Every structure is written in structure tokens, then in C-alpha cells.
């Protein structure tokens, strides 16, 4: 066994936010008017020869009544690796096909509804895998309006959420409108109804600071989100505030995230907007 792999597996903070269980402190307390508190502990898992020390692509933490698992897409072995976070061991590897009727494309986002129902997102839409890695459902989704086309953003911090009870997929909407990625007056989030294949734009817009300055923030204008049953939580890399949208009430509240240890303000980028290197250096 490789010495590096024997040491530990790095579990991303964003993955741990989804689950909780024995020996894992992931407690979130939210007051809709004042604050949001998150506590996370890291854990180490000895890896086998097939697992990766870091998973740069899709991952998801799933909990049942007994255990908490990390599901992660392995881009090298083309499999979904399953880790038992309570027992701290590699549970299994779900081997995927690259071609054929069950051919699985590059997975950009992942959500586990049950061990036998894994929702995977790629650039064209979504598909659902069973526990054996076979595709049991597949659908192409695309947002189309009179003045633009678009789809849900797929990224490490912008993973869609499939509400299986309602049959709705929620996510950050990206369209062909200019300026990218925040056209004037464009809603930030949308809901896709799987049964009717209809879209609904949610009344969530850029906060005033972002609306005024996002072009001058370099790479500090990115949106990060976490969606669960009934709530869309999101923030921006330039702001300390955390925004929470209640889907059923259609109301948005703000939790002040001002740090007591470091400055919460971000300086404006005043360089060439086409200079990507300078924009990254401004982070």
C-alpha cells in the first residue's frame, strides 16, 4: 500500500456540512435574524490502493439511521468510492462504465438519495445510478427563455439539490445573458420541475454591494451555496454575510458573518478586467 495513502483522506468542509453521525461534529445552529454557527471536526481514514487522497470532483455525505458515508467520484478508476465515516474505513467502490447503455459521463455534482439511488449531474442534465452503477433514469435539462438559454451551475461550491419529495431540482442559474455571470436583474436561483420539465425562477437577486461592485472584485465575486430541504443558503467570497432563502415562505434573511479575528472587507480590483492572472492574484 502506498505510504502517502496510508496516512489519511482529506475530507472537505463543504462535504461534511451535509452529514452528521457518531464521532463527527457537524452542528449547525441558525437564527434567522442574527447568526449562523458551524462546528466541524476532521477525521482520517486509511485508504486502499484504489482510493484517492483528495477528490477534486463530485462528493456527497449521506447519513442513515446507523452510519454516515462519504460518496466521492474517482476520476482515475471511474468509480464512486464509498467511505464509512463512523468506522473510518473504505466501504466499497461502485465501478462505472465509460461507454455503452450504462456509460457514465464526467460527474460534476453528486447527491445520494439512498444507497440505491445516486443522482449525478453533468453538463447536459442529470441521471440516477443504482447501487451497482447502472443508469436507471436519465434526462437532459436546459433552460430556455425568449432572450437567452442557460442551465444550472455545476461546481464544487454550487451543487444542485434534488428534492425527491417535490420532484424539483434547485440550483444556481447561469444564462447566456451579459454581463456574465450576473446579468442586470437576473434571478440567481431556479427550480426545475422534473415531471413537467418546467422552470421557475426564484426571487433571489444580488445583494446591493455585489450589484454595485462585482465587476471590480476579481475572483472574489463567486457565489457559494448549500441547499437542503426547504432552505437555500448562499454567500459570496467578497462578503461575510450568509443569506438564507426559505423556499416555502419565499422569504430571504441575512445572518451577519462579520469576523472578530480578521477583516471582513475585500478591496476592489482596479486592474484590467481581461487579465485573468491579475484577477486571480487579487483573491
Express each pLDDT in 8-67 by its tens digit: 333 333 333 333 333 333 333 434 444 555 566 778 999 999 999 999 889 999 999 899
The rounded mean pLDDT for the chain is 85
CATH fold of 1-140: Lipocalin (2.40.128)
Other C-beta atoms lying within 10 Å of the C-beta of residue 64: 12
Cα within 13 Å of Cα(72), Cβ side: 28
Residues 158-170: tens digit of each pLDDT: 999 999 999 999 9
The residues spanned by each domain of the chain are 1-140, 145-266
Give the model's pLDDT for residue 255: 83
Q: State how far the alpha carbon of 4 is from the alpha carbons of 56, 203, 212, in Å.
A: 17, 47, 47
Give the model's pLDDT for residue 146: 95
User: What does the CA dihedral 61, 79, 154, 110 come to, rounded to 10 degrees?
Assistant: -30
Q: Does residue 21 have a cis bond before it (omega within 30 degrees)? A: no
Under a CB-based contact definition with an 8 Å cutoff, are residues 170 and 176 in contact? no
Q: How far apart are CA 25 and CA 69, in angstroms?
A: 14
Average pLDDT over residues 85-92: 96
Look-up: residue for cell 483573491?
Answer: 283
Give the model's pLDDT for residue 222: 92
Nearest partner of 20 among 87, 81, 69, judged by Cα = 69
- Per-residue confidence at 2, pLDDT binned at 50, 70, 90? very low
Give the model's pLDDT for residue 8: 37
Residues 128-150: tens digit of each pLDDT: 999 999 999 999 999 999 999 99
Q: How far apart are CA 160 and CA 228, in angstroms?
A: 10
What's this model's pTM, rounded to 2 decimal places? 0.80
Nearest partner of 16 among 50, 41, 33, 35, judged by Cα = 41
Q: How far apart are CA 137 and CA 17, in angstroms?
A: 27
- Give the residues across from 60 on adjacent strands: 71
Average pLDDT over residues 194-221: 93
**Which cell numbers hold the place of 68?**
454516515
Residues 226-237: tens digit of each pLDDT: 998 899 999 998
Amino acid at each position: 500500500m502506498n505510504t502517502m495513502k496510508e496516512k489519511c483522506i482529506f475530507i472537505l468542509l463543504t462535504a461534511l456540512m451535509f452529514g452528521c453521525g457518531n464521532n463527527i461534529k457537524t452542528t449547525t445552529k441558525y437564527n434567522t435574524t442574527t447568526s449562523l454557527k458551524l462546528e466541524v471536526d476532521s477525521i482520517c481514514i486509511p485508504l486502499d490502493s484504489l482510493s484517492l487522497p483528495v477528490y477534486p470532483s463530485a462528493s456527497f455525505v449521506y447519513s442513515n439511521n446507523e452510519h454516515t458515508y462519504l460518496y466521492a467520484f474517482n476520476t482515475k478508476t471511474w468509480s464512486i468510492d464509498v467511505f464509512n465515516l463512523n468506522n473510518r474505513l473504505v466501504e466499497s467502490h461502485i465501478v462505472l462504465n465509460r461507454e455503452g447503455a450504462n456509460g457514465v459521463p464526467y460527474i460534476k455534482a453528486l447527491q445520494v438519495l439512498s444507497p440505491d439511488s445516486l443522482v449525478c449531474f453533468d453538463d447536459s442534465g442529470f441521471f440516477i445510478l443504482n447501487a451497482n452503477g447502472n443508469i436507471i433514469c436519465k434526462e437532459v435539462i436546459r433552460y430556455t427563455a425568449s432572450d437567452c438559454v442557460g442551465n444550472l451551475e455545476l461546481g464544487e461550491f454550487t451543487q444542485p439539490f434534488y428534492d425527491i419529495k417535490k420532484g424539483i431540482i434547485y440550483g444556481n442559474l447561469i444564462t447566456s445573458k451579459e454581463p456574465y455571470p450576473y446579468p442586470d436583474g437576473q434571478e440567481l436561483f431556479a427550480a426545475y420541475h422534473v415531471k413537467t420539465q418546467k422552470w421557475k425562477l426564484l426571487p433571489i437577486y444580488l445583494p446591493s454591494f455585489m450589484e454595485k461592485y462585482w465587476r471590480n472584485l476579481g475572483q472574489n465575486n463567486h457565489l457559494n451555496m448549500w441547499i437542503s430541504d426547504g432552505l437555500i443558503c448562499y454567500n459570496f467570497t467578497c462578503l461575510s454575510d450568509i443569506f438564507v432563502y426559505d423556499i416555502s415562505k419565499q422569504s430571504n434573511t441575512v445572518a451577519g458573518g462579520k469576523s472578530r479575528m480578521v477583516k471582513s472587507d475585500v478591496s476592489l480590483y482596479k486592474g484590467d478586467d481581461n487579465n485573468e492572472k491579475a484577477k486571480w492574484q487579487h483573491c
